[in-house]
């Protein structure tokens, strides 16, 4: 038997009937539509490139605001705002490219940026060679900007917390101010920070600073201080300048100045936020410093005459005596105790207002007579004290006599309607040469001498004898 005759012939290939062709075409269209739907649901962008990196497919089209078909045939890398990373670059050395989560900033038709997270896979030809790339992308611009804003807010909070922590450690206003200025340059990458004060001339001067000397910037800064709002400008050497004036226009006016070295980047929104907070701290510290100085002045000053008060005089005299004891080669000094004669009758006849006018006049007279190196104070009531630096007995007597003569000539004319003789009774004590005197012993001797002068007829002076000495000098005005 012929085996060949018994072997069945192969069945002919199935040929689609005329009725099945529409069914296959519909399935193909449905599959393509399904792929498009899935792609659009999963991604904001789908693309293909050829082996040279040119776009051969793009969905949706138009995309990124470009006209329909405008990107096809163009290098995909032309869309990149930055050269790296380049998800469209053909693989090097024949190795297939690809990857997931590739973040790239793409250029929109308007020129604006759009950030996409891309997933890319290589396309291979029949021989396994590289034929292009296929990928999808998700627009994450809003997410990135929100994350950047949160990160910037965190950086601002951390920088501000560091600034506040350094300031909180300080107790005194000057140290708070210094701590603020010290913290700003490292926090902002500045060359320095300074507090400016605008005087009557309108020119700014540096009162506090940390970092480089801003002297060369003051001319450029002066024009910016006319505004009530922060100014950001460029200095004469292309320095980035930030000038934040005190919002209240009262003299003297202050401003915070911060600057970056030449070529440094301008101050961005985060920098300006931190600078505004730092300026608030600076102005609070300046206000506290002014208040502290005012309180210190009030604690040391007689409110009526503006002279030193008793406590301040004794503190300063104590320091003067200690310094003299440490430098025996220096000259000594003398204390004059001044009492205004006829003050009680003046109060009784003309009232306390006239008495206050007399005390104010005495304070002005003594302030004009003494030298800058001397001390003058009101001890209370009608009693005043003067320290004559480096004065010996002869000089102290001459100065006491001059005070008596000036009082007789000047004081009555300063009180309208006053007919009483307003004169001085002055007692003085010269510092002991052996350095044994204290403020209390000097004042006690001067006080005793003053009462001696008053009992001698007023309008005169008397110097107390030095310890273990007799025959004190005396005189009349």
Higher-pLDDT residue of 76 and 247 is 76
Query: How many CA atoms does the CB half-sphere of 281 hold within 13 Å?
Result: 27
Q: Give the number of other CB atoms < 10 A from CB of residue 13.
A: 5
Rounded Cα distance between 256 and 273, Å, is 14
pTM equals: 0.49
Rounded Cα distance between 146 and 450, Å, is 81
% the chain with pLDDT above 70? 82
How does residue 146 score in pLDDT terms, banded at 50, 70 and 90?
Answer: confident
Q: What are the chain's domains? A: 25-139 (3.30.450.20), 159-298 (3.30.450.40), 310-476 (3.30.70.270)
**Residue 421: pLDDT above 60?**
yes
Can you give the pLDDT at residue 470? 47
Among residues 129, 142, 38, which one has the least CA distance to residue 91?
Answer: 129
359: which DSSP letter? Answer: H
Among residues 344, 313, 317, which one has the least CA distance to residue 458?
Answer: 344
Higher-pLDDT residue of 121 and 5 is 121
Q: Which SS3 state, helix, strand or coil, does residue 339 take?
A: strand
Contacts of 1 (CB under 8 A, 6+ apart): none
Can you give the pLDDT at residue 188? 83
How does residue 223 score in pLDDT terms, banded at 50, 70 and 90?
Answer: confident
Rounded Cα distance between 148 and 150, Å, is 5
Can you give the pLDDT at residue 3? 40
Helix (H) or strand (E) holding 50: strand 45-50
Can you give the pLDDT at residue 2? 42
Predicted confidence (pLDDT) per residue in 250-265, tens digit: 778 899 999 999 888 8
**Residue 153: pLDDT above 50?**
yes
**Residue 313: pLDDT above 60?**
yes
Among residues 282, 266, 281, 280, which one has the least CA distance to residue 188?
Answer: 266
Mean pLDDT for the chain overall: 84
- Helix orientation angle between 173-188 and 141-168, rounded to the nearest 10 degrees: 150
Predicted confidence (pLDDT) per residue in 357-414, tens digit: 999 999 999 999 899 999 999 998 999 999 999 999 999 999 999 999 999 888 877 7
376: which DSSP letter? Answer: E
Decide if 244 contacts 259 (C-beta within 8 A): no
Helix (H) or strand (E) holding 336: strand 333-340
């Amino acid at each position: 038997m012929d085996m060949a005759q018994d072997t069945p012939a192969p069945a002919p290939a199935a040929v689609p009937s005329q009725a099945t062709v529409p069914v296959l075409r519909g399935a193909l269209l449905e599959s393509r539509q399904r792929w498009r739907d899935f792609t659009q649901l999963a991604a904001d962008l789908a693309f293909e490139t050829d082996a040279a990196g040119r776009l051969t497919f793009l969905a949706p089209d138009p995309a990124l605001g470009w006209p329909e078909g405008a990107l096809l045939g163009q290098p995909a890398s032309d869309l990149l705002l930055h050269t790296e990373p380049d998800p469209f670059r053909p693989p090097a050395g024949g190795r297939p490219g690809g990857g997931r989560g590739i973040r790239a900033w793409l250029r929109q038709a308007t020129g604006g940026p759009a950030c996409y997270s891309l997933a890319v896979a290589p396309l291979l030809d029949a021989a396994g060679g590289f034929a292009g790339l296929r990928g999808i992308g998700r627009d994450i611009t809003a997410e990135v900007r929100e994350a950047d804003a949160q990160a910037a807010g965190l950086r601002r909070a951390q920088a501000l917390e560091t600034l506040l922590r350094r300031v909180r450690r300080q107790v005194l206003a000057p140290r708070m101010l210094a701590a603020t200025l010290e913290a700003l340059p490292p926090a902002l990458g500045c060359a320095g920070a300074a507090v400016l004060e605008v005087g009557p001339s309108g020119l700014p001067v540096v009162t506090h600073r940390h970092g480089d000397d801003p002297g060369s910037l003051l001319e450029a800064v002066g024009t910016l201080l006319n505004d009530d709002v922060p100014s950001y400008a460029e200095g004469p050497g292309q320095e980035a300048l930030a000038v934040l004036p005190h919002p209240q226009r009262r003299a003297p006016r202050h401003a915070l100045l911060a600057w970056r070295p030449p070529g440094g980047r301008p101050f961005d929104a985060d920098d300006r936020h931190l600078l505004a907070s730092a300026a608030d701290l600076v102005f609070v510290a300046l206000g506290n410093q002014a208040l502290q100085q005012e309180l210190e002045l009030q604690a040391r000053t007689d409110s009526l005459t503006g002279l030193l008060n008793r406590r301040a005089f004794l503190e300063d005299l104590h320091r003067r005596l200690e310094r003299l004891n440490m430098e025996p080669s220096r000259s000594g000094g003398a204390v004059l105790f001044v009492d205004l004669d006829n003050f009680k009758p003046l109060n009784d006849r003309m009232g306390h207002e006239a008495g206050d006018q007399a005390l104010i006049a005495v304070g002005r007279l003594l302030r004009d007579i003494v030298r800058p190196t001397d001390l003058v104070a009101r001890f209370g009531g009608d009693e005043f004290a003067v320290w004559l630096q480096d004065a010996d007995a002869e000089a102290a007597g001459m100065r006491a006599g001059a005070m008596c003569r000036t009082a007789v000539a000047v004081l009555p004319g300063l009180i309208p309607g006053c007919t009483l003789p307003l004169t001085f009774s002055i007692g003085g004590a010269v510092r002991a040469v052996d350095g044994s005197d204290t403020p209390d012993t000097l004042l006690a001797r001067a006080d005793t001498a003053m009462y001696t002068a008053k009992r001698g007829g007023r309008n005169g002076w008397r110097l107390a004898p030095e310890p273990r000495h007799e025959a004190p000098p005396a005189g009349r005005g």
